[in-house]
Chains A and B, each alone.
Chain A
């Protein structure tokens, strides 16, 4: 019997469940390795070579190289792990989160100061605002 996943109809949201975690294991563990300063240095010196040390898929490697966080998440990445790439790049959590919304950094920051993204129209895929 299929597992119940009621969260699949939430717009703009990927829930990091056991299936995503399985797909993203090596991607996330690569991210985890960036918690060590020496690994951050090696990664920055030659990103492609460092990524090639990990049994990640080519798509996952390309998503990391292009810092496409939405794609990383689609391929099994989790934001708390991906944040290690952001830390390596000197990006704040707000910059990282904002980069996934299609908004400019300033527009995202202003939206948050204005009270954040409204829930209205954001509960279900296809919902009318």
Chain B
């Protein structure tokens, strides 16, 4: 049977992608950030999964205001890097895993989560920047990826509670898949940031670090944090953090092993967090 061995949490700031694409990673502004991801990259090399289930959000790229799915699962064989207005990022095409993706869709919908199934979709920096941060810049990504897009652009976005319970349904779905695949679930976005209005530039280190502590130790309680706390304390775009609860919910109920934890301010407008948890 398939099994979830680990979860990865990381911000997906577009400027990080631009720094990689323009060869700026060694510049003083960016060097501390990329150095902070070195242990994560080394771990990733040593713990290559068969499939990554990657939770992220689309940023007005694949989804305009014509359609706004709350949860969308990518079931295609491949997903092209999107042109977000600057031309597509020079990164590999993302290979999907249609068999596992459609299995998960089937199981999770039967568990009362009404997913939107997507068979054609370009993927933006929300998905490709985490892959770069964890895998570097290879000629091909190390394994198939199932993109799972969450609406965190138009309010109301799904609650932390809903995300956490969805994670549990995803775990059940993966564990009922016959092939013995090693699966990672990644939660991306955040941490504190606000990109709009006179309050733009908001960073809340205390909130972010308390979030990381609780995500590790007591996700059940964290899942009850209301939207307004994220928006008020972590900024209007800090609400992306609810996506981390999907990955956390997909982990076993027993306490995980903390492999790596890193926090850095700033990347452009945003606080960056990275966490790796292994099922014991």
Seen from chain A, the residues whose Cβ lies within 8 Å of a Cβ on chain B are 6-7, 10-18, 21, 24-25, 28-29, 31-32, 34-35, 40, 69-70, 73, 78-81, 83-84, 87-88, 92-94, 96-98, 100-102, 108, 111-113, 115-119, 122-124
Contacts and interface: CB of A to CB of B under 8 A. Distances in A.
Nearest to A35: B85
Given A7-B228, A88-B85, A29 B65 contact: yes
Nearest to B228: A6
Interface centre among B200, B231, B271 (most CB of A within 10 A): B200
A84 B85 contact: yes
A79 B195 contact: yes
A32 B60 contact: yes
B198 A15 contact: no
Contacts, number: 154
Interface string B163-202: 0000000000000000000000000000010111111111
B202 to A, nearest CB: 5
26 contacts: A7-B228, A13-B236, A16-B154, A17-B156, A18-B155, A18-B156, A25-B65, A28-B60, A28-B64, A29-B66, A35-B85, A73-B196, A73-B197, A78-B153, A79-B195, A80-B60, A93-B14, A93-B15, A98-B200, A98-B201, A112-B265, A112-B268, A112-B269, A116-B271, A117-B202, A124-B232
Interface of B: 14-15, 18, 29, 59-61, 64-66, 83-86, 153-156, 192, 194-207, 227-228, 231-233, 236-237, 265-266, 268-269, 271
Interface centre among A70, A87, A100, A124 (most CB of B within 10 A): A100
Nearest to B204: A119
A97 B196 contact: yes
Given A16-B154, A17-B154, A83 B85 contact: yes
B198 A116 contact: no
Contacts of A35: 61, 83-85
A100 B155 contact: no
B192 to A, nearest CB: 8
A91 to B, nearest CB: 11
Q: Which 7 A-B pairs have the closest CB atoms?
A: A116-B203, A87-B85, A12-B199, A12-B198, A17-B155, A80-B60, A117-B201
B60 A111 contact: no
B197 A13 contact: yes
Contact of A100 (B60, B153, B196): B196
Nearest to B29: A113
Nearest to B231: A7
A15 B76 CA distance: 33
B198 A101 contact: yes
Contacts of B15: 92-94
A40 to B, nearest CB: 8
A78 B60 contact: yes
A28 to B, nearest CB: 5
A84 B60 contact: yes
A16 B68 CA distance: 13
Contacts of B231: 7, 10, 13, 15
A126 to B, nearest CB: 14
B223 to A, nearest CB: 19
Contacts of A69: 196
A15 B65 contact: no
B154 A70 contact: no
B268 A93 contact: yes
